[in-house]
Amino acid sequence: MGILLVSGAVLALCTAARWYLDRTSRGERTYAGGWVRLRTLWNEGAAFGLPLPKGGLIALSLLALSALFCLRRKSGAGTALILGGGVSNLLERLRRGRVYDYLQFPKAPRPLNRYVYNLADLFIFTGAVLLGKRRKVRGKR
């Protein structure tokens, strides 16, 4: 139940951020000493602007859901973040045929500094890091 609650909160937060920025964003703005830039654009491809084949959206979504189902016990928090961010991007793509991206990190290492992300992408990335971490096993020394 916790996974669904956190996923729902992530989905709500991503939706609210997109809604707000879609209505108020005008031009580029930089924050945090140039580390964060708000730069809005519509991504019609997959992650990192890769082309998304016809019918690929459903296939990729089902593949991702099955992988998450298998890994859910490794990190409930990671699973929840990926699920919430993934559903947010999926709903945006189904509704508009593209995804609204707005965060860029100009001072990040190359090539990450050239891409524009959204909050859902950051939740997905954070969830993947949590799923990739080794779980500490309690027991005998």
Active-site residue set = 101, 121
Element (H, E) at 100: strand 99-104
User: Using N-to-C axis directions, what is the helix angle for 56-71 and 76-96, rounded to 10°?
Assistant: 170
User: Using N-to-C axis directions, what is the helix angle for 119-132 and 76-96, rounded to 10°?
Assistant: 150
Let me know: does 103 contact 38? Beta carbons within 8 Å.
Answer: yes
Q: Are strands 99-104 and 36-43 parallel, antiparallel or unpaired?
A: antiparallel
Q: Which residues pair with 43 in a beta bridge?
A: 99
Q: Residues in the chain, how many?
A: 141
